Structure 1
Amino acid sequence: MARRRRKSRGRKLILAVAALCLAAVYPLQEQLTDGGGDSRGAGNAAAEDVSAAASDVFRDGSTLEVHFLDVGQGDATLIRCGEAAMLIDAGNNSWGDDVRDYLEYQSIGDLDYVIGTHPDADHIGGLDVVMEAFDCGTVIMPDYEKDTQTYTDVTDVMEEKGYELTLPQVGMVYELGEAAFTIVAPNGEYGDNANDYSVGILLEHGENRFLLTGDAEEDSEADMLDNGIDLSADVLKAAHHGSRTANTEAFLERVNPEYVVISCGEGNSYGHPHAEVLNRLREMGIKVFRTDEEGTVVATSDGAGITFNVPPSESWQAGEPKG
Structure 2
Amino acid sequence: MYEVDFLPVDATEGEPNTENGDAITIHFIEDATQAERVVVIDAGFATVGHQVVEHVRKFYGTSHVDLAISTHPDASHIDGLQVVVEELDVAELLVHLPKRHASPRDVQKHFVDIRAVDSLLDTARTRGTAVAEPFLGQSRFGGQLTVLGPTETLYESLLAEQLDQARTGALGHAMTLAAGGLRDLLRNVAAWGYPSEGLAEDVETSARDETSVITLVRSDGRQLLFTGDAGLRGLGAAADHYENLLGTFRTVPISLFQVPHHGSRRSLSPTLLDRLIGAQDDPHTSTTAIVSSADADPWHPSPRVTNALGRRGAALVATEGTAVWSSHRARPRAGWSPVVTAG
- Alpha-carbon distance between aligned partners in 2 of 1:143 and 1:247, rounded to the nearest angstrom: 27
3-state DSSP class of the match of 2:72?
coil
Amino acid at match of 2:117: Y
Amino acid at match of 1:222: G
Residues 1:183 and 2:172 aligned together:
no
Change (3 A) 1:79 1:237: same
Aligned to 1:296: 323
Select 1:250's aligned residue among 258, 271, 285: 271
Residues 1:81 and 2:28 aligned together:
yes
Shift of 1:104: 2.0
Task: Map Cα deviations across residues 257-286 of structure 1 (whole Å, 9 max, x no partner).
Answer: 6110000101226x1101221121121121
Runs of 5+ consecutive residues of structure 2 not aligned to the other structure: 11-19, 30-35, 100-110, 163-206, 278-284, 331-335
Shift of 1:173: 2.5
Segment of structure 1 superposing worse, 111-120 or 250-259: 250-259
- Alpha-carbon distance between aligned partners in 1 of 2:45 and 2:272, rounded to the nearest angstrom: 27
Segment of structure 1 superposing worse, 244-253 or 200-209: 244-253
Change (3 A) 1:311 1:157: closer
Task: Map Cα deviations across residues 4-51 of structure 1 (whole Å, 9 max, x no partner).
Answer: xxxxxxxxxxxxxxxxxxxxxxxxxxxxxxxxxxxxxxxxxxxxxxxx
Amino acid at match of 1:88: I
Aligned to 1:48: none
Runs of 5+ consecutive residues of structure 1 not aligned to the other structure: 1-62, 313-323
3-state DSSP class of the match of 2:223?
strand
CA contact (8 A) 1:186 1:220 kept: yes
Amino acid at match of 2:92: T
Shift of 1:251: 2.4
3-state DSSP class of the match of 1:285?
coil
3-state DSSP class of the match of 1:183?
strand
Task: Map Cα deviations across residues 96-143 of structure 1 (whole Å, 9 max, x no partner).
Answer: 222222222222221000001111111111111110111111211124
Shift of 1:229: 4.0
Task: Map Cα deviations across residues 151-189 of structure 1 (whole Å, 9 max, x no partner).
Answer: 33312211222323211231333117xx81111011313
Segment of structure 1 superposing worse, 234-243 or 100-109: 100-109
- Alpha-carbon distance between aligned partners in 1 of 2:22 and 2:319, rounded to the nearest angstrom: 10
- Alpha-carbon distance between aligned partners in 2 of 1:229 and 1:239, rounded to the nearest angstrom: 21
Residues 1:134 and 2:88 aligned together:
yes
3-state DSSP class of the match of 2:43?
coil
- Alpha-carbon distance between aligned partners in 2 of 1:205 and 1:81, rounded to the nearest angstrom: 7
Select 1:97's aligned residue among 42, 50, 53: 50
- Alpha-carbon distance between aligned partners in 2 of 1:164 and 1:203, rounded to the nearest angstrom: 21
- Alpha-carbon distance between aligned partners in 2 of 1:94 and 1:153, rounded to the nearest angstrom: 16
Select 2:67's aligned residue among 113, 117, 127: 113
Aligned to 1:162: 128
Aligned to 1:225: 239
Report matched runs for 1:1-323 at 5 Å: 63-72=1-10, 73-82=20-29, 83-106=36-59, 107-144=61-98, 146-148=111-113, 149-175=115-141, 180-187=144-151, 188=154, 189-190=157-158, 191-192=161-162, 193-227=207-241, 228-230=244-246, 232-256=253-277, 258-268=287-297, 271-292=299-320, 295-302=322-329, 309=337
- Alpha-carbon distance between aligned partners in 2 of 1:93 and 1:126, rounded to the nearest angstrom: 4
- Alpha-carbon distance between aligned partners in 1 of 2:308 and 2:112, rounded to the nearest angstrom: 36
CA contact (8 A) 1:65 1:80 kept: yes
Identity fraction in percent: 26
Shift of 1:310: 5.1
- Alpha-carbon distance between aligned partners in 2 of 1:169 and 1:153, rounded to the nearest angstrom: 21
Amino acid at match of 2:318: R
- Alpha-carbon distance between aligned partners in 1 of 2:339 and 2:288, rounded to the nearest angstrom: 11
- Alpha-carbon distance between aligned partners in 1 of 2:292 and 2:127, rounded to the nearest angstrom: 30
Count of residues in correspondence between the two structures: 242
User: Normalization by structure 1: what TM-score?
Assistant: 0.69
- Alpha-carbon distance between aligned partners in 1 of 2:121 and 2:339, rounded to the nearest angstrom: 39
3-state DSSP class of the match of 1:211?
strand
Moved beyond 6 Å, runs of 4+: none
